[in-house]
Structure 1
């Protein structure tokens, strides 16, 4: 280099000033009840554990709300914010609900086949009446039982109306209690019709038994289980039931276009790890054995200055109903707890329940410990994100946090807890236990997966969504707007290409005037507005509104430009490409 050039220097360069800096992602964190900035523990990597289904029955729209919402959040974090997400989801294939449902289904099938083959339908009918009386007396009781237990009349129309009467007329009506009452009345009415119809039927035995089990199965199955449940011992009965509904669940997820988990864990495959997890919690002084079961010692945990119990919903920690529900219908019957708040880590198995060997005798895992052990085995001693339905916050997720922090002796096992809101149907909360649900397959028979996804995108993910058939029109309207937009853009671009191919040379006009300049400016504003909406706890309703406003601007531009200067294909192609990408991020497809 010559001396003359070595003395020549470049002018000073200044760092640019960002006039509209993009906001970092903040998300509603159930651990703080505020929107907190998402800060990964390592680089751009996020470890994420999502509570999967308990596979004992068909998945319903409430499940669709949870898993579609989590899928939307995951896609936006991965495909828009470009985080490297490791997503783990469990399958709960050992649970009290599965045990009861599989056992009762097995007993009902066996009972039906036995009477169909022997032709002893009258005997089956007598047992059905006994089961019916037991169900009505146990579930409805009081005056309702008196009204129903007098006799089985020949006329199905004789079934009386049974309005719900709360135990305390002065207290507010509990929707759950009212829902359970309605469910039991519906089951009794259905059984009543089946029994009375069958009493006068002369159809073949197999057909009559089919009618009886279909109509009165809900009252016969629990009666059979009370008498014969302890005799069901073959593990294949429980495994087959869970495996069937797991396959059904994944079929539903595929139909909804939910992205598969990176890693799927099943409780039945992690029994040794769960046993070891429980042993360590006992060693640390936070659990105790009693009568073949192991319980988490909530008082000992709370006494530690390092730990806090019920981080998510401390106000719910004293709820007897929630605590009992968290133990399961079979687990709540176990004995040996020191305090009502203590919960089972390992349950002693009785006759008629699956079991595995353990230091405390034959038993099975408690519900909460399953997720703690599996998540820790795959993700280690802490994770970035944990998600699941809001109904799991207490006691399930709070107990997960407690036992995991006891095992790892840490004070923050999860950094961000995400809870999609409830879904109600026509104003009522859906529930498998109340049998007032719409299955995913039933919903997809009436609406497309895209329409369901759009419905969820149009509502805040963390808020309650009241799903109404009339409300689906909004989603269909948005779907129609987007379809029409992409069709118009494709048609216009095809026309432009055809005209260019027909000419030997381009016209000496650039086609980028004030109208195009304004549209490109609108694109920039929309991109910033969409980003700000997504950064604000993934506010999809606002982001979608900005995209639809941009689509409207392009439609107006194409209409006006076509009348005089002509449409600039590069500009509308750029906008359409952006809208397509944002739709694909949400798994809504695009314009191609």
Structure 2
């Protein structure tokens, strides 16, 4: 019986998918904003979800995995200006680079990679529905979600709006009803991509994009949604509010699964801080499975402080594991020798190892314990 930590409930609980009788599991993972090369902090999240998906399939489930690309964003626009390119060209280039990096890391491709720019009509329709229901308002060409209109705002974080406001970076805008109100639609700026809407030309806000794409392909109440823990607020908190307000249905998601931060020198690895190590840099010095081993040796919810020394040790651990497997394989193929475990004893040892592995993985994907099995 698989048990997963659900951020919404703040506990480990039995995993029961929506379509349990059919053995089908639906997953939505927040994807990249493609304006630069993928760093190892990103890789940690996508490797964790790759492990989750592979384990679900190992346990007999049929998984449908959706992961978006946020292919229009302030950072993409800024990068395009720096490079003298079209924003869509920049987004396409770094989206492909991401896929190449994940292929090298052995991460299974999602079944679907929806892009924001392919879903503008659906996003506009959702924003209009929120306005019609009294959950959103127009302000100088922008559209904002009114957090006070949704009584459950803050339930993912376990805090009320006032508590959330104390530690939040808010979007400044004179005339907002509440400081935490967030943009569903942003009015057009000169020289930036924009689309026609009932409120004038503009483009979607970040949060509404994931709500529309996930619900479009998986429906309300799908099984697993997640990404890195830093997305839990405000992004995932806002997704819950707008999705449940838009559809009038609850829950938006059954299980919220988040991965821990990757730090470097004790600070979050971030492009804005300039302390990133790209996947490509890591793979110039180490094989892909060494990076996977680095992440497997820690529980997916624990923070990891990245160092080259830790990656080197993960590579050594990988080599020891391979040697053990090679020796075991050769021993099983040759004739029995004095002191060897009898075949029936070997079979029992294999069964026990498999059992301990499954027990470890069933308990919230306990990869460190599974490796020790």
Q: TM-score range by the shorter chain?
A: over 0.9
Residue 233 (structure 2) aligns with: 394
Q: Map residues 155-234 of structure 1 onto 2, 5 A cutoff.
A: none
Q: 2:350 aligns with which of 490, 501, 523?
A: 523
Residue 24 (structure 2) aligns with: 45
1:418 correspondence with 2:257: yes
In the aligned structure 1, how far is the partner of 2:74 from the partner of 2:117? Answer: 14
In the aligned structure 2, how far is the partner of 1:362 from the partner of 1:513? Answer: 76
Residue 185 (structure 1) aligns with: none
**Structure of higher CA gyration radius:** 1
CA deviation profile, 1:278-299 (whole Å, cap 9, x unmatched): 1111111111111111110111
Residue 364 (structure 1) aligns with: 203
CA deviation profile, 1:108-142 (whole Å, cap 9, x unmatched): xxxxxxxxxxxxxxxxxxxxxxxxxxxxxxxxxxx
1:281 correspondence with 2:138: no
Q: Map residues 331-480 of structure 1 onto 2, 5 A cutoff.
A: 332=172, 334-480=173-319
Q: Is the 8 A contact 1:49 1:87 kept in 2?
A: yes
Q: Is the 8 A contact 2:47 2:292 kept in 1?
A: yes
When normalised by structure 1's length, the TM-score is 0.60
Q: Map residues 36-75 of structure 1 onto 2, 5 A cutoff.
A: 36-42=13-19, 43=21, 44-75=23-54
1:93 correspondence with 2:80: no
CA deviation profile, 1:518-558 (whole Å, cap 9, x unmatched): 43333232222111111101101001101xxxxxxxxxxxx
Residue 533 (structure 1) aligns with: 360
When normalised by structure 2's length, the TM-score is 0.93
In the aligned structure 2, how far is the partner of 1:514 from the partner of 1:478? Answer: 25
Q: Is the 8 A contact 1:323 1:395 kept in 2?
A: no
Deviation at 1:493, TM superposition (A): 5.2
The farther-off stretch of 334-343 and 374-383 is: 334-343
In the aligned structure 1, how far is the partner of 2:196 from the partner of 2:63? Answer: 36
Q: Is the 8 A contact 2:194 2:203 kept in 1?
A: yes
- Whose strand fraction is larger, Structure 1's or Structure 2's? 2
Residue 99 (structure 2) aligns with: 250
Deviation at 1:316, TM superposition (A): 8.0
Q: 1:351 to 1:320 in 2, by over 3 A?
A: farther
Q: Which consecutive unaligned segments of at least 5 residues does structure 2 have?
A: none
The alignment of Structure 1 onto Structure 2 pairs a total of residues equal to 369
In the aligned structure 1, how far is the partner of 2:340 from the partner of 2:314? Answer: 36
Q: Is the 8 A contact 1:291 1:335 kept in 2?
A: no
Residue 25 (structure 1) aligns with: 2
Cα RMSD after superposing both structures: 2.2
CA deviation profile, 1:306-344 (whole Å, cap 9, x unmatched): xx11222144843366343xx5xxxx4x55422111111
Q: Is the 8 A contact 2:220 2:251 kept in 1?
A: no
In the aligned structure 1, how far is the partner of 2:144 from the partner of 2:215? Answer: 20
Q: 2:12 aligns with which of 35, 50, 57?
A: 35
Q: 2:140 aligns with which of 271, 280, 291?
A: 291
Q: Aligned to 1:341, what secondary structure does the other structure show?
A: coil
Q: Is the 8 A contact 1:66 1:420 kept in 2?
A: yes
1:311 correspondence with 2:155: yes
Q: Aligned to 1:258, what secondary structure does the other structure show?
A: coil
Q: 1:441 to 1:283 in 2, by over 3 A?
A: same
Q: 1:428 to 1:27 in 2, by over 3 A?
A: same
Q: Aligned to 1:299, what secondary structure does the other structure show?
A: helix
Q: Which consecutive unaligned segments of at least 5 residues does structure 1 have?
A: 1-23, 107-235, 303-307, 497-508, 547-592
